[in-house]
Amino acid sequence: MNADLERVIALQRLDTASHDAQRRLAEQPDRGKALEARIDDAKRQVAAAKERLAANQSARREIEKDVAVHQGRLSKFREQAMAVKTNQEYHAIQHEIAFAQTEIKTREDRILELMVQADELAANVKKAEAALAAEQKSVESDRKAMATEMSDFRQDLERMAHERVELVAAIAPGVLATFDLVAKRRNGVAVAEARDGVCTICHVRLRPQVFNTIRRNAEIVQCDSCQRILFYVPAPAAPAPNGSAIDSAAR
């Protein structure tokens, strides 16, 4: 393979890897916010569960107050029943007693319902708190992993910057100028594989004689459409009769 072609392929891979590392570093704030959002969501679930339990308890207290009021009325009516002198008064008092008893029973039944619901709501609070604790542990683990990943990316960028300086110094100035110009115009991608007579990035079919030249990888050839520097990857060699692959590049 042409030495400069081999170097620009390596340079493209280096620049692509560097771009990816920079992109991942730039995404760090958003990823950090996403981790915080997970915690906030779990906290909201806990708060909502506690709010539902508190509402249940508040409703029960209010009904218990109503029961106390009706029990007070019931006691008063029973005392009055002892002092009535006519059947009409007696029936009226009995009606009030029956009404108070009905009201008390209705409310006590509702209190029992709320008590059953309270057990379920309390269990939901514990479940939400356990989920929050698990999410906090998971997020902390993800934070540590992200911090390690970011550190690795920074180290990779520093290493690739040194490698790029050495690689650029070895490329012929004219070839490097072509690479830089195309990379600037094509979103950082100045090199493309040619396969089956087509540029694999712009998908424009190459002239047969141009593709044949590219297949030799002996010189710098640009795509007529996108101007990227093209190279060819030979198909894998068929296995030898003894099962080992034939290294066509070494022949």
Calculate mean pLDDT across residues 74-81: 87
* All residues at 6 or more sequence positions from 101 whose CB lies less than 8 Å from its CB, including other chains: 74
Name the band, by pLDDT with cuts 50, 70 and 90, for residue 135.
very high
Res 65 pLDDT > 80: yes
Q: What is the pLDDT of residue 236?
A: 82
Of the listed ranges 41-45, 120-124, 224-228, 238-242, the least confidently predicted one is 238-242
* All residues at 6 or more sequence positions from 195 whose CB lies less than 8 Å from its CB, including other chains: 232, 233
Tell me the domain boundaries of the chain: 9-168, 173-232
Of the listed ranges 17-31, 47-61, 81-95, 117-131, the least confidently predicted one is 81-95
Residues β-bridged to residue 230? 192, 221
Calculate mean pLDDT across residues 5-27: 96
* All residues at 6 or more sequence positions from 173 whose CB lies less than 8 Å from its CB, including other chains: none
CATH 2.60.40.10 assigned to domain 9-168? The reply is: no
- pTM value is 0.69
* All residues at 6 or more sequence positions from 11 whose CB lies less than 8 Å from its CB, including other chains: 164, 167, 168, 171, 179, 191
Q: What is the pLDDT of residues 161-205, one digit of tens each?
A: 999 999 999 999 999 999 999 999 999 999 999 999 999 999 999
Res 240 pLDDT > 80: no
Q: What is the pLDDT of residue 194?
A: 97
In the structure encoding, which two tokens stand for residue 189, read together?
């991608």
Res 243 pLDDT > 80: no
Q: What is the pLDDT of residue 158?
A: 96
Name the band, by pLDDT with cuts 50, 70 and 90, for residue 250.
very low
In the structure encoding, which two tokens stand for residue 162, read together?
């040194």
Q: What is the pLDDT of residues 83-128, one digit of tens each?
A: 878 888 888 888 988 998 999 999 999 999 999 999 999 999 999 9
Q: What is the pLDDT of residue 249?
A: 35
Mean pLDDT of the chain: 92
